Amino acid sequence: MNIIAYGAHAGDQPLEPMRITRRAPGVHDVQIEIAYCGVCHSDLHQVRSEWAGTLYPCVPGHEIVGRVSAVGAQVSGFKPGDLVGIGCIVDSCKHCEECDAGLENYCDHRVDTYNSPTSDAPGYTLGGYSQQIVVHERYVLRIRHPEAQLATVAPLLCAGITTYSPLRHWKVGPGHKVGVVGIGGLGHMGIKLAHAMGARVVALTTSESKREAALALGANEVVVSRNADEMAGHAGSFDFILDTVAAPHDLDPFFKLLKRDGTMTLVGAPATPHPSPQVFSLIMKRRSLAGSLTGGIPETQEMLDFCADRGIVADIELIRAEEINTAYERMLKGDVKYRFVIDNASLAA
Ligand code: NAP
Ligand code: ZN
């Protein structure tokens, strides 16, 4: 199928409309008409070749929601008309230790939704800034939110699961004090989810202007991290900190906020390394530094159901596809509350 997409021909070129092809659904495939696609900072890193190995033309987008339009003969879990989502993974080896554990995100042969090798043309995957996608049913998620909320569900497919998974892995819950660093697309979901899990949530932001808004998202307190006195007031008090910042920055001031045995987990993936840590800020209180990558398919479904049961969605700004280049510039300035989502109907207009 020949469809319209939005992508870039080189790292220093703006995104523009282009035509791409999708395979006909195989026996295990689900074909999805994409209604909305969230705009993740990873899309920007990848399409501008800030991480190594971007293949062009590059069509980003891994926060995909839409409706099933066709299914292969052996698909049992989905039928035409179903509301579904696709996140960061569209395939994996299906038989390694990670896949067996439902942690396809850690499979060495994981196929990302864009920029990963595949036998489909052009030889690597093309993402959700497009009209349609065809994916093996194992990687298709069921959406139980009301259809009217569909655009606001899209960011759950990456920003939601990328924050939910570490909050669950490090068993965040009642009685815990949790910090979320960087209040962007991931960070605002981190606040909502940690709050819903019963933790006391502190938003750690560089933006004085987000103080009030972070409280409205569910934070119990907001700390402007550039303010050393405010930071010092929280020294040694956090059980867990989730760092979602998209740029290199000094981690040590955040380690000092952790209690003995506290953990700081990095999910932000800047193109160049952080200038820290100083080992002493870790060893003095047996603190841990960790990382986490998106989440597996069963946990992504669990997160979507958790959010549907509690009415949790992302705060979004809906844009047309041709506004994507401006949206990237605004995202770089932190000027979005809190996720741009493309209305994919605008691709055809
Ligand atoms: P985003 O919406 O742009 O938010 C990032 C936030 O980080 C900003 O809103 C800002 O928050 C803070 N920030 C940005 N630049 C900064 C700077 N120079 N100094 C200090 N703070 C800065 O991005 P996102 O979509 O949430 O993605 C965040 C990062 O996570 C990206 O690197 C992305 O690639 C990565 N990511 C990782 C995974 C994973 O699996 N690990 C999955 C998805 C995304 P304040 O204004 O509050 O300071
Ligand atoms: Zn993402």
Alpha-carbon span 6 to 322, nearest angstrom: 8
Contacts of 175 (CB under 8 A, 6+ apart): none
Alpha-carbon span 249 to 302, nearest angstrom: 32
Which among 54, 23, 40 is positioned nearest to 135, based on CA atoms? 23
Which among 33, 313, 343, 32 is positioned nearest to 145, based on CA atoms? 313
DSSP letter, residue 284: T
CB 141 within 8 A of CB 299: no
Measuring from atom 12 of ligand 1, which residue has the nearest CA? 182
Ligand nearest to the CA of 61: 2
Measuring from atom 19 of ligand 1, which residue has the nearest CA? 247
**Each residue of 32-90: pLDDT tens digit?**
999 999 999 999 999 999 998 999 999 999 999 999 999 999 999 999 999 999 999 99
Residues touching ligand 1 (Cβ under 6 Å) are 40-42, 45, 158-159, 162, 182-187, 205-207, 210, 244-247, 249, 267-270, 292-294, 331, 334
**Each residue of 195-243: pLDDT tens digit?**
999 999 999 999 999 999 999 999 999 999 999 999 999 999 999 999 9
Given a cut of 80, is residue 349 above it in pLDDT? no
Which atom of ligand 1 lies closest to the CA of 186?
A: 26
pTM over 0.95: yes
Average pLDDT over every residue of 107-130: 97
Phi first, then psi: give them for residue 83, nearest 5 degrees: -85, 125
Q: How far is the CA of 238 from the centre of ligand 1 (A)?
A: 21
Q: How far is the CA of 295 from the centre of ligand 2 (A)?
A: 11
Predicted local distance difference test score (pLDDT) of residue 52:
83
**Each residue of 140-150: pLDDT tens digit?**
999 999 999 99
Q: What is the SS3 string spanning 195-211?
A: HHCCCEEEEEECCHHHH
- Counting every residue written for the chain, the total comes to 349
Which among 327, 306, 150, 180 is positioned nearest to 240, based on CA atoms? 180
Predicted local distance difference test score (pLDDT) of residue 272:
93
Any idea where the domains of the chain sit in the sequence? Answer: 2-158+295-348, 160-291
Q: How far is the CA of 39 from the centre of ligand 1 (A)?
A: 12
Spell out the CATH class of 160-291: alpha beta
Place of tokens 């939910």: 164
Given a cut of 80, is residue 108 above it in pLDDT? yes
Tell me how many degrees the CA angle 41-191-106 measures, rounded to the nearest 5. Answer: 55
Q: How far is the CA of 233 from the centre of ligand 2 (A)?
A: 33
Does the fold of domain 160-291 match that of domain 2-158+295-348? no
Alpha-carbon span 333 to 313, nearest angstrom: 23
Q: How far is the CA of 157 from the centre of ligand 2 (A)?
A: 8
Spell out the CATH class of 2-158+295-348: alpha beta
Which atom of ligand 1 lies closest to the CA of 45?
A: 34
Written as six digits, the tokens of 24 are 């006909």
